[in-house]
Structure 1
Amino acid sequence: MGLFKKKNPDGVDSKTQYKILYTSDVHGSEVTFKKFLNAGKMFKVDALIIGGDVAGKALIPIVELGNGKYDVQGTEVGREGLETLKQKIKNEGNYYVIVDKKGYDELNNDKRKVDEAFKTAMIERLREWVKIAEERYKGTNIPIYVNLGNDDPLYLFDILDEGTVTKKTEGFIIPLGKYEMISFGYVNPTPWNTPREMSEEELYSNMVKMIEKVSNPNLAIFNFHAPPYGTNLDNAPLLDKTLKPVVRGGEIVMTHVGSKAVRKTIEEFKPLMGIHGHIHESRGFDRVAGTLVLNPGSEYSSGIFHGVYIVLEGEKVKTHQFITG
């Protein structure tokens, strides 16, 4: 995974408390991202952290018909309606591409064209977010630490480097006051074969290499995208062979889908705290071998922001508060 490097502290002073706003799985939702930035200022935190999955999941073609008319998934709109629709698409975490009829046919018949359009849209959206973060946080001395998750292609790390406020975390030990944070966005295998997955054995090996670089694991924050297995953080619907939820007695059957390797590292090294995401429907907290673990959950497609406000003090997590907005 490359060399680990120490980063200079950002906004760190001798205060006894260190305040964090954490979120995860924003999946391209512009309104959710903006709410996150607003909440950071409202709670007057020392750092903001995104735990992973910044990329959206769908690309919607907008077909230009001429004479100021556009077709969007069978609905015809004019220029004014188009702007409203584009914002709705962005808020729901999706991407769009404007094409003529020929371009639409090319997308339907050439997967490479779709992949290229998807890549361009992902880069442009994240680049927009980096600029928004610069506008709102430049000069505040409050860093916004961003990691990629299992749904995020690696080239998005390069976009995070374009700003001075947004800072990528994977591969670095991040000082947060007297505490240190390590990050890992890979997850245990999923049914969807996402870009960043590893076997449990590979996850454990890579995480231990990072943990060994930490000065004091007991004061460390494990920012691992996958939640620990068998907790309140990793409940998801049980899927059948066709990837549809299993229903019994009229209710969806839930099962644990988190990482056993993540759980093992927490049990062995007993960090101060674990912050996780990945399982959108499993918002909650738990304890693993005495360590507090958190998952803010996600409702990005509805434009709802989920986060956790965390206050660290001394050698403990003084308080945490789930936020929805």
Structure 2
Amino acid sequence: MGLFKRKQPEGIDKKSQLKILFTSDLHASDVAFRKFLNVGKMLKVDVMIIGGDLAGKALIPIVDLGNGKYEVEGTQVGRDGLENIAKQIKNNGNYYIIVDKKEYEDMLQDKKKVDEAFRTAIIERFKEWIQLAEERYKDVKIPIYFNLGNDDPTYMFDVVNEDSIFKPTEGFIIQFGIFEMISYGYVNPTPWNTYREKSEDEIYKELKSMVNKVRDPSKVILNTHAPPFGTNLDNAPLLDKNLKPVVKGGDIVMTHVGSQSVRKIIEEYKPLLGIHGHIHESRAFDRVAGTLVLNPGSEYSSGIFHGVYIVVEGDKIKAHQFITG
């Protein structure tokens, strides 16, 4: 993948108005992704963007007991019940693997086998999504741009072919007519030591290098997975040393967990728009140094789709609307 290469989507070369559907943190929820595809077509947008964290977080073993019986997390079902459970697992943003008793015991003893199964599941689900998008959008020219977030292994980039409807954004300046988009999926350190985390100094240096390549910062869409620090977009529960939420007076204590560097970049360059994710419970908009910043939030595990419809025109945001369903 090239560094700071410009890409121009077909059909958007002279647009001074741009209609965007943005979502983030789908975390492998099949139903949330399908809703995303439905909304994009319904609104007839110019471009669709997924701001990171496409991968799920759990792999659930389904043990084949033989004779048409299966065990899932302590519950036994027959073949008829298996299909419903598998569908529910996918809609909740998890993966599953069907194994016999010996394979299950082997996986309990060998973390490498679990990692391999997880990798296979992530790749297969992503391929399913790409195939579904290409089937649904074969008659319309709406590109789906995606970036990987902190919970996404980088090998997911390798799943996408050059001619796919899914188009990676990281390492590219995407040209949307008079607008440009730069994307960055790494986040400031978290308590969970996820795949893609960097220090604030590294984030600032790399973002600054990217912004310095654009033609006009005032017409830039800044697509960073981490939201700017100290805004409505980055409120999350304060955690204790055991990673449990701190509760005072019966209420969960909230704190700001976004990126100081992302905020600094916005303050210095004043891009047209900031689109962010990462903090699921902070569905919100705000302004940083005059720049509108948005986080659609996420309730992927409940099968709820969260997105934001944005109309950009000239040098301003003409409209933005949060969508939930």
Band the TM-score falls in, shorter-chain normalisation: over 0.9
Matching of residues 64-79 of structure 1 within 5 Å:
64-79=64-79
- What is the CA RMSD across the aligned residues, in angstroms? 1.1
Matching of residues 165-176 of structure 1 within 5 Å:
165-176=165-176
**1:294 matched to 2:294:** yes
Query: What is the match of residue 188 of structure 1?
Result: 188
Matching of residues 188-267 of structure 1 within 5 Å:
188-267=188-267
Quick one: structure 1 residues 233 and 296, their matched pair in 2 at CA, closer, same or farther if it must change by over 3 Å?
Answer: same
Task: Check conservation: 1:11, 1:143, Cα contact below 8 A.
Answer: no
Distance 1:198 1:68 in 2: 48
Query: What is the match of residue 317 of structure 2?
Result: 317
Distance 2:83 2:163 in 1: 27
Distance 2:51 2:318 in 1: 21
- Deviation of 1:6 after TM superposition, in Å, equals 1.2
- Deviation of 1:141 after TM superposition, in Å, equals 1.3
Quick one: structure 1 residues 22 and 298, their matched pair in 2 at CA, closer, same or farther if it must change by over 3 Å?
Answer: same
Distance 1:9 1:252 in 2: 44
Query: What is the match of residue 106 of structure 2?
Result: 106
Return the TM-score normalized by structure 1.
0.98
Query: What is the match of residue 121 of structure 1?
Result: 121
Query: What is the match of residue 306 of structure 1?
Result: 306
Output one character per residue of 1:157-179: Cα deviation in whole Å (capped at 9) or x when no partner: 01133652110000001112210
Q: Which moved more, 1:8-17 or 1:314-323?
A: 8-17
Distance 1:15 1:177 in 2: 5
Percent of pairs with identical residues: 71
- Deviation of 1:209 after TM superposition, in Å, equals 1.0
- Deviation of 1:11 after TM superposition, in Å, equals 2.6
Distance 2:243 2:317 in 1: 38
Output one character per residue of 1:146-191: Cα deviation in whole Å (capped at 9) or x when no partner: 1100000000001133652110000001112210000000000000
How many residue pairs are counted as aligned between the two chains? 325
Distance 1:28 1:146 in 2: 13
Distance 2:139 2:186 in 1: 32
The letter for the 1-side match of 2:186 is Y
Distance 2:81 2:133 in 1: 28
Query: What is the match of residue 278 of structure 2?
Result: 278
Query: What is the match of residue 51 of structure 1?
Result: 51
Structure 1 stretches lacking a partner, 5+ long: none
Return the TM-score normalized by structure 2.
0.98
Q: What SS does the corresponding residue of 1:129 show, helix, strand or coil?
A: helix
**1:20 matched to 2:20:** yes
Output one character per residue of 1:64-120: Cα deviation in whole Å (capped at 9) or x when no partner: 000111000110011110001000000000000000000000111110010000000
Quick one: structure 1 residues 168 and 2, their matched pair in 2 at CA, closer, same or farther if it must change by over 3 Å?
Answer: closer
Distance 2:142 2:54 in 1: 20
The letter for the 2-side match of 1:28 is A
**1:88 matched to 2:77:** no
Distance 1:324 1:220 in 2: 26
Task: Check conservation: 1:11, 1:142, Cα contact below 8 A.
Answer: no
- Deviation of 1:301 after TM superposition, in Å, equals 0.1
Distance 2:119 2:256 in 1: 32
- Deviation of 1:9 after TM superposition, in Å, equals 2.6
Distance 2:236 2:166 in 1: 31
- Deviation of 1:8 after TM superposition, in Å, equals 2.7
Q: What SS does the corresponding residue of 2:174 show, helix, strand or coil?
A: strand
Distance 2:108 2:49 in 1: 38
Task: Check conservation: 1:222, 1:275, Cα contact below 8 A.
Answer: yes
Quick one: structure 1 residues 197 and 212, their matched pair in 2 at CA, closer, same or farther if it must change by over 3 Å?
Answer: same
Structure 1 moving runs of 4+ over 4 Å: none
- Deviation of 1:138 after TM superposition, in Å, equals 2.3
Structure 2 stretches lacking a partner, 5+ long: none
Q: Which moved more, 1:14-23 or 1:242-251?
A: 14-23
- Deviation of 1:38 after TM superposition, in Å, equals 0.3
Distance 1:251 1:264 in 2: 31
Distance 2:163 2:89 in 1: 25
Q: What SS does the corresponding residue of 2:142 show, helix, strand or coil?
A: coil
Q: What SS does the corresponding residue of 1:155 show, helix, strand or coil?
A: helix
Q: What SS does the corresponding residue of 1:134 show, helix, strand or coil?
A: helix
Task: Check conservation: 1:226, 1:262, Cα contact below 8 A.
Answer: yes
Matching of residues 129-148 of structure 1 within 5 Å:
129-148=129-148
- Deviation of 1:199 after TM superposition, in Å, equals 0.2
**1:4 matched to 2:1:** no
